[in-house]
């Protein structure tokens, strides 16, 4: 058969072109474009900041998205964000005063491996089941090298994350001492304005300098492990002087006897401390996040503490002392920002750094001369 007699048919055939077959061939999938057509969406201009009234409306209505955005604004170090953040903080403070909100601020710390995040998830679920709204402020340590933070505490609280009565906010410590982030206290105010009546402040971990969390919490809970030292070792830890309750965690399985022994040792150590100003007597208990043993006892201890301090007036006294402490902290923060944002200081700082690094000037002399430049600028 010659090529001229061969009839070539179009393939694929169009729909119903061949009456002898019921086969229908549809058009194939078109080749996708080389460039992502949605790439332009990534370059859209970021939405502008909301007004203070819009932030306040969202916070007081319990909108967690707006609350998270407001906390991000408060934590921002940009000068442009500082003014609007200060307005939000002042409005939230006035709102809480008008509504006479009295929350329970509970600071939680513990030795490494004590299971702080696991305990918070179990105890937080117990708190919400009791009818409270819970906000968890988890502070993650920042790297001294990269200055970054993993912020992974929230991933270990899967059950609590899905609880509609709970709000979890991880924040980096950003190099601040005391086991808390720089803006933790302001975040507490925003959460209280959003209607959360129980605030957990989880620190980066126990340490001798961890005092800032004590200055912003009403009740201080210390989580310890069994076998972490005898009662004399516990006394040497300055953190024990500030604790209102010690909970020995992981008291389950074969570890129950060890936990009970540790409970007795720490209880003996607590009796050697002088009486507290609130007249509360700190004690030690055992708990387990797995079996939920000890959680009701811890909750009852916290309720008893707040009943005591509200009855004898210590609750108000401590809140006023906290306000005074953070007044001075705010002054220190503002002075530091004004110093480093001064244009003349920014220019001179580079030169003085080079002199200190090459050894031509001592660090104390350089600091004194920089402060003199700052004072002269303020007098002009």
**pLDDT tops 50 at residue 106:** yes
Question: Is residue 39 situated within a structural domain?
Answer: no
Q: What's the pLDDT score for residue 110?
A: 82
pLDDT band per the 50, 70, 90 thresholds, residue 341: confident
User: What's 296's domain CATH number?
Assistant: 3.40.50.300
- Asked, for residue 44, whether it belongs to a domain, the answer is no
Q: Write down the residue that tokens 């407001």 correspond to.
A: 70
Give the model confidence (pLDDT) of 126-140 as tens digits. Answer: 999 999 999 999 887
With a cut of 90, say whether residue 356 has pLDDT above it: yes
- Give the end of a domain, one of 267, 288, 313: 313
Q: CA separation (Å) from 306 to 102, 216, 280, 312?
A: 10, 15, 10, 10
* Whether the predicted model's global pTM rises above the 0.85 cut: no
Residues 216 and 104 in one domain: yes
- Average pLDDT on 208-233 reads 71
pLDDT class of 376 with cuts at 50, 70, 90? confident
- Structural domain including 255 reads 52-313
Gyration radius of the chain's alpha carbons:
30
Residues 216 and 361 in one domain: no
22 falls within a domain: no
Contact 167, 67 (CB under 8 A): yes
CA–CA distance, 264 with 153 (Å, rounded to integer): 31
Same domain, 57 and 134: yes
Of residues 142 and 117, the one with the higher pLDDT is 117
Confidence (pLDDT) at 231: 45
Give strand pairing partners of 284.
246
Q: Would the pLDDT of 235 be above 70? A: no
Residue where a domain terminates, one of 313, 345, 362: 313
Given 288, 313, 338, which residue is the final one in a domain?
A: 313
181-198 pLDDT tens trace: 568 888 999 999 999 999
Distances (CA, A) of 51 to 9, 98, 193, 309: 68, 22, 17, 39
Rounded CA-CA distance 91/31 in Å is 56
Strands 245-248, 104-110: pairing kind: unpaired
**Distance between CA atoms of residues 257 and 260, nearest Å:** 5
In a domain, 283, yes or no: yes
Per the structure, the count of domains in the chain is 2
Rounded to whole angstroms, how far apart are CA atoms 303 and 297? 10
Do 169 and 212 reside in the same domain of the chain?
yes
């Amino acid at each position: 058969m010659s090529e001229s007699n061969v009839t070539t048919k179009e393939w694929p055939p169009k729909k119903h072109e061949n009456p002898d077959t019921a086969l229908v061939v549809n058009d194939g999938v078109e080749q996708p474009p080389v460039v992502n057509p949605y790439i332009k969406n990534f370059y859209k201009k970021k939405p502008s900041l909301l007004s203070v009234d819009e932030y306040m409306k969202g916070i007081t209505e319990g909108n967690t998205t707006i609350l998270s955005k407001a906390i991000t604004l408060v934590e921002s170090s940009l000068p442009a964000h500082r003014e609007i953040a200060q307005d939000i903080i002042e409005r939230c403070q006035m709102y809480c005063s008008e509504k006479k909100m009295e929350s329970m601020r509970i600071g939680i710390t513990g030795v490494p491996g004590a299971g702080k995040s696991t305990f918070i998830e179990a105890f937080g679920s117990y708190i919400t089941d009791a009818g409270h709204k819970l906000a968890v402020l988890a502070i993650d340590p920042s790297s001294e090298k990269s200055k970054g933070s993993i912020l992974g505490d929230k991933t270990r609280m899967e059950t609590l994350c899905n609880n509609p009565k709970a709000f979890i906010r991880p924040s980096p410590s950003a190099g601040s001492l005391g086991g808390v982030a720089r803006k933790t206290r302001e975040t507490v105010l925003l959460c209280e304005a959003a209607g959360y009546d129980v605030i957990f402040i989880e620190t980066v971990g126990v340490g001798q300098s961890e005092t800032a969390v004590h200055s912003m919490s009403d009740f201080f809970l210390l989580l310890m492990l069994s076998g972490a030292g005898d009662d004399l070792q516990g006394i040497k830890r300055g953190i024990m002087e500030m604790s209102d309750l010690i909970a020995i965690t992981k008291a389950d399985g074969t570890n129950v006897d060890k936990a009970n022994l540790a409970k007795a040792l720490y209880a003996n150590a607590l009796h050697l401390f002088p009486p507290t100003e609130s007249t509360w007597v700190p004690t030690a208990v055992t708990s387990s996040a797995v079996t939920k043993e000890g959680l009701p006892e811890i909750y009852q201890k916290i309720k008893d503490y707040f009943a005591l301090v509200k009855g004898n007036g210590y609750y108000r006294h401590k809140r006023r002392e906290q306000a005074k402490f953070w007044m001075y902290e705010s002054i220190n923060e503002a002075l530091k920002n004004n110093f480093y944002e001064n244009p003349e200081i920014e220019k001179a700082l580079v030169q003085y750094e080079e002199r200190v690094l090459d050894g031509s000037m001592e660090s104390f002399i350089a600091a004194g001369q920089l402060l003199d430049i700052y004072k002269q600028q303020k007098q002009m």
